[in-house]
């Protein structure tokens, strides 16, 4: 496709009009990209209406990213099936030689493939353009993007495309009542041909057949489906596949020679000259063996619209408009030259291997090369920016991801589990956390599901008396305090719902991290490899990223915690109060989450005599807690909450923390990697600030990193990223040290059995400790 600048001015138009010749995929993609940039253009199409030769195209992830950039990705997705698997069969034996998931993780996320009807795609692009943009029956070609036989390419001096020695027949079968096929791409090769069958949607199935014709093939016969069926009947092809071809109507079957532009010629050719360039098949005609012809045309459209649009709209650089346009087209040519050469060369080699009848090549292909050829094909489908990768879909990870999303920065979240995990059931959500949630845009969404707690009552477990009452709504430095006990699963779900679909990638466990220049190479347990521009570890206490950064391993506090959730379908009737019991060697608490759920916790320092498997059995654990509580002055209503918990709702875990002194000296960030949440500041739960601090981290990190990625500032992007993570580390280091250290000391004082400490705690320290809870919550992490 080739845009140029008209020197003549039409009535009512601007002095500069970009003219695109050819209303195919590349032409309409460039036109729509320019329209999105605010640049007017005209598309000249020689036909009286849109043409859709070829019926359908394999649309891989790189093409869908381009369609997303053009604003029509979801419009296309909802009309077509998301293909799940590629199955490769030997035409000689009929056996499956290779199968591959089409959702496998690529360098920039999971792959995605649809078989898109070409006419629907063209119509979707056309509908987004202003009326009158396309001028049909326009035979005058100024410069254009006019396919394999491009006039513009010829004018630029590009060599004529070469004949590959192969032909392709394509067809479309329609099943008005539905075809019932699985969303799988089935491909057969060998016996001198390559055959593929791909469902487009619930009613249409696209098929293709490529082969090298012999001298004995009748030219007329070779152009219809009977020839294809004759060829296939001599091989091991399933009857259901033959039926698809038989079902195709004659008007829906086309045959054409396969041509390509030699890759070496592209390396030396003039892709642009002055204010003229080419794109799509006018630039890179290729054999269809990678399914990348239409995909690459969409890539061209986005890149060319960006380069040319910026040149026309931007006055920077001091050059005249004509100079900026020429420079914009040279930049487009530079970006697309190597990509085009790689695609053409790889497609040609893959096609040669797949169709060969040579005995040696056939043996190697069926037994080894099938997977290698497919991997080569999949590797061509990576396009776009390197990702910001967040490890862990817990509170910190989702908060960071949502903060970046609010700032307009895309990221990917890797979660090792197959779904969201909500260990711990609920957590105390103090004022500082609500400020963070409000910044993330989900505060009110969570508030309305949970009770606003009014008072904290601290009891002595020895006497059963209240040692301290504290108003939880008391005025702080930044307004009234606020505490609710938030169900962890509800919070995670609320954060997830605000993220773009596909942001979280489940069952993605990191096993190793490597460096490659300014990028981090992430190896996953399933063998996938990701390349990250920024790596953020939110992967909990046992963080792989924290270990890679060199942070010290969290220490054991010598204490254990068990937690539970009691459900009352008809309502629990508890007052909106946080009741806490301290002394007798344990710390316990009961907090209503809403009108039907009540959360409880119990922490203690186990003795040698208390290790009789209580941590291994949920039933034993619950009985252990009840025995401890009954030996103290604990109200019946609190015991009833614990008794009511389901067995599966009781868990136990050791309490660990990162030594505060080590945090003062640790590398919280290094280059383009950092940690947040429990990966940064694991702490004992005695302040109820673990989840709150993770939300603070999310807002601060999203602010620092988002500003760096979106802002210029004169420095290179990698330098801005590193500086932003250092700033995040500076802000969060002292806050983390204070929280970890204070929680540890509060826990020791609250659980102690020492007579002196117990006396001081019950008579004087209870007020101080309650005050510390409110003081730690009176913190503002700032805006996004």
- How many residues would you count in the chain? 784
Q: 234 pLDDT exceeds 90?
A: no
- The correct answer on CATH 3.40.50.720 for the domain covering 388-777 is no
Q: 347 pLDDT exceeds 80?
A: yes
List residues bridging with 196 in a β-sheet. 187, 208
Write out the two tokens for 777.
Answer: 């919550």
Q: 433 pLDDT exceeds 90?
A: yes
User: What's CA 584's distance to the chain center, in Å?
Assistant: 49
Burial class (CB in 10 A: 0-12, 13-18, 19+), 98: buried
HEC states along 92-143?
A: CCCCEEEEEECCCEECCEECCCEEEEHHHHHHHHHHCCCCCCEEECCCCCCC
Average pLDDT over residues 687-708: 94
- Summarize the chain as % helix, strand, coil (round to 5): 40, 25, 35
Q: 505 pLDDT exceeds 50?
A: yes
The DSSP letter of residue 518 is T
* 347 Cβ contact list (under 8 Å, min separation 6): 260, 286, 287, 288, 289, 290, 292
Counts for the chain of helices (H) and strands (E), in that order = 24, 36
Q: Which residues of 469-492 are buried (b: 16+ CB within 10 A; e: fewer)?
A: ebebeeebeeeebbbbbbbbbbbb
Q: 359 pLDDT exceeds 70?
A: no
Secondary structure (3-state) at 467: strand
The whole-angstrom separation of Cα 453 and Cα 773 is 14
Residue with tokens 């992830």: 61
Residue with tokens 């990768």: 389
Q: Report whether 56 contacts 325 (CB < 8 A).
A: no
Q: Which of 315-329, 375-389, 440-454, 596-610 has the lowest mean pLDDT?
A: 375-389
Q: Report whether 207 contacts 57 (CB < 8 A).
A: no
Structural element, H or E, at residue 404: helix 395-407
pLDDT of residue 490: 94
Q: 555 pLDDT exceeds 70?
A: yes
| Torsion angles phi and psi, residue 759, rounded to 5 | -65, -50
Query: Strand runs (DSSP E) across 203-305, as ranges?
Result: 204-211, 253-260, 272-273, 276-277
Q: What is the mean pLDDT of the chain?
A: 83
Q: What is the pLDDT of residues 368-409, one digit of tens each?
A: 444 554 444 444 433 334 579 999 999 999 999 999 999 999
The DSSP letter of residue 250 is G
List residues bridging with 110 in a β-sheet. 105
Q: 614 pLDDT exceeds 70?
A: no
How much is the pTM? 0.55
List residues bridging with 338 in a β-sheet. none
Class assignment of domain 3-379? alpha beta
Q: Give the DSSP per-residue string, 676-687.
A: -GGGT----GGG
Closest by Cα among 470, 461, 467 to 763: 467
Residue with tokens 């108003």: 471
CB atoms within 10 A of CB 110: 16
Structural element, H or E, at residue 736: helix 717-751
Q: What is the pLDDT of residues 560-585, one digit of tens each?
A: 999 999 999 999 999 999 998 987 78
Secondary structure (3-state) at 146: coil
User: What's CA 479's distance to the chain center, in Å?
Assistant: 37
The whole-angstrom separation of Cα 379 and Cα 292 is 11
- The CATH 3.50.50.60 portion of the chain extends over 3-379, 388-777
List residues bridging with 529 in a β-sheet. 523
Residue 440: pLDDT band with limits 50, 70, 90: very high
pLDDT of residue 765: 54
Which residue blocks in 613-659 are alpha helix, DSSP H? 618-630, 636-644
Residue with tokens 């910044």: 439
pLDDT of residue 219: 54
Q: Report whether 256 contacts 168 (CB < 8 A).
A: yes
Burial class (CB in 10 A: 0-12, 13-18, 19+), 514: exposed
The whole-angstrom separation of Cα 404 and Cα 723 is 17
Residue 759: pLDDT band with limits 50, 70, 90: low
Closest by Cα among 130, 170, 379, 176 to 258: 170
Average pLDDT over residues 21-25: 84
Q: Which residues of 346-356 are buried (b: 16+ CB within 10 A; e: fewer)?
A: bbbebbbbbbb
The whole-angstrom separation of Cα 692 and Cα 688 is 8
Query: Pairing relation of β-strands 253-260 and 162-174?
Result: antiparallel
Q: 610 pLDDT exceeds 70?
A: no
pLDDT of residue 384: 32
List residues bridging with 581 in a β-sheet. 459, 588
Q: Report whether 600 contacts 566 (CB < 8 A).
A: yes
HEC states along 166-209?
A: EEEEEEEEECCCCCCCCCEEEEEEECCEEEEEEECCCCEEEEEE
- HSE of 427 in the Cβ direction (CA atoms, 13 Å)? 27
CB atoms within 10 A of CB 708: 23
Write out the two tokens for 667.
Answer: 């590398």
């Amino acid at each position: 496709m080739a845009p140029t600048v008209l020197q003549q001015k039409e009535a009512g138009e601007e002095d500069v009009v970009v003219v695109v010749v050819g209303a195919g995929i590349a032409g309409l993609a460039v036109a729509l990209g320019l329209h999105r940039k605010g640049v007017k253009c005209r598309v000249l199409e020689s036909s009286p209406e849109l043409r859709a030769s070829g019926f359908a195209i394999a649309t891989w992830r790189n093409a869908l990213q381009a369609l997303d950039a053009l604003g029509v990705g979801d419009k296309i997705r909802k009309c077509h099936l998301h293909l799940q698997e590629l199955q490769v069969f030997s035409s000689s034996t009929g056996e499956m030689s290779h199968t591959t998931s089409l959702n496998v993780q690529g360098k920039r996320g999971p792959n995605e493939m649809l078989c898109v009807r070409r006419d629907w795609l063209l119509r979707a692009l056309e509908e987004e353009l202003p009326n009158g943009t396309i001028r049909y029956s326009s035979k005058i070609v100024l410069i254009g993007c006019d396919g394999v036989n491009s006039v513009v390419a010829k004018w630029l001096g590009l060599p004529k495309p070469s004949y590959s020695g192969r032909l392709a027949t394509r067809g479309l079968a329609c099943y008005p009542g539905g075809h019932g096929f699985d969303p799988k791409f089935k491909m057969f090769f060998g016996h001198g041909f390559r055959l593929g069958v791909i469902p487009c949607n619930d009613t249409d199935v696209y098929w293709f057949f490529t082969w090298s014709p012999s001298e004995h093939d009748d030219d007329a016969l070779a152009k219809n489906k009977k020839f294809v069926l004759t060829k296939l009947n001599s091989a091991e092809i399933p009857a259901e596949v033959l039926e698809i071809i038989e079902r195709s109507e004659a008007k829906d079957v086309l045959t054409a020679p396969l041509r390509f532009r030699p890759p070496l010629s592209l390396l030396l050719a003039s892709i642009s000259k002055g204010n003229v360039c080419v794109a799509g098949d006018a630039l890179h005609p290729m054999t269809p063996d990678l399914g990348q012809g239409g995909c690459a045309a969409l890539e061209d459209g986005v890149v060319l619209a960006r380069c040319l649009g910026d040149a026309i709209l931007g006055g920077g650089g001091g050059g005249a408009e004509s100079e900026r346009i020429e420079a914009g087209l040279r930049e487009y040519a530079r970006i697309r030259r190597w990509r085009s050469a790689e695609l053409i060369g790889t497609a040609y080699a893959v096609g040669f291997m797949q169709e060969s009848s040579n005995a040696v090549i056939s043996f190697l292909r069926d037994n080894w090369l099938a997977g290698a050829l497919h991997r080569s094909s999949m590797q061509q489908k990576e396009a776009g920016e390197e990702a910001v990768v967040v490890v862990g879909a817990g509170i910190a990870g989702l908060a960071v991801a949502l903060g970046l999303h609010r700032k307009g920065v895309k990221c990917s979240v890797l979660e090792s589990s197959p779904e969201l995990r909500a260990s711990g059931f609920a957590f105390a959500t103090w004022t500082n956390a609500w400020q963070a949630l409000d910044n993330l845009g989900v505060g009110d969404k969570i508030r309305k599901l949970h009770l606003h707690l009014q008072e904290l009552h601290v009891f002595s477990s020895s006497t059963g008396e209240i040692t301290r009452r504290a108003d939880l709504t008391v005025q702080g430095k930044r307004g009234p305090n606020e505490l609710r006990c938030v169900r962890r699963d509800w919070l995670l779900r609320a954060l997830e719902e605000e993220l773009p679909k596909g942001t979280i990638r489940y069952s993605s466990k990191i096993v190793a991290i490597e460096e490659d220049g300014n990028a981090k190479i992430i190896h996953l347990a399933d063998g996938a490899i990701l390349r990250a521009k920024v790596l953020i570890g939110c992967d909990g206490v046992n963080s792989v990223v924290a270990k890679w950064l060199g942070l010290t391993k969290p220490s054991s506090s010598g204490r254990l915690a068990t937690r539970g959730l009691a459900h009352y379908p008809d309502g629990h009737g508890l007052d909106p109060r946080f009741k806490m019991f301290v002394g007798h060697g344990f710390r316990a608490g009961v907090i209503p989450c809403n009108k039907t759920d009540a959360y409880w916790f119990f922490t203690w320092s186990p003795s040698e005599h208390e290790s009789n498997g209580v941590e291994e059995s949920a039933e034993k654990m619950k009985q252990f807690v009840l025995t401890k509580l009954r030996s103290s002055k604990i109200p019946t209503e609190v015991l009833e909450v614990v008794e009511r918990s389901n067995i599966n709702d009781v868990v136990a875990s050791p309490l660990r923390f990162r030594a505060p002194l080590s945090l003062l000296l640790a590398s919280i960030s290094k280059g383009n990697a950092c940690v947040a949440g429990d990966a940064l500041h694991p702490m004992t739960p005695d302040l109820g600030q673990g989840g709150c601090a993770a939300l603070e981290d999310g807002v601060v990190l999203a602010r620092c990193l988002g500003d760096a990625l979106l802002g210029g500032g004169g420095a290179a992007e990698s330098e801005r990223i590193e500086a932003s993570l250092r700033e995040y580390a500076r802000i969060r280091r002292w806050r983390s040290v204070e929280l970890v250290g204070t929680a540890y000391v509060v826990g020791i004082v609250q659980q102690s059995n020492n007579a002196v400490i117990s006396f001081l705690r019950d008579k004087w320290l209870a007020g101080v400790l309650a005050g510390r809870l409110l003081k730690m919550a009176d913190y503002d992490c700032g805006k996004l």
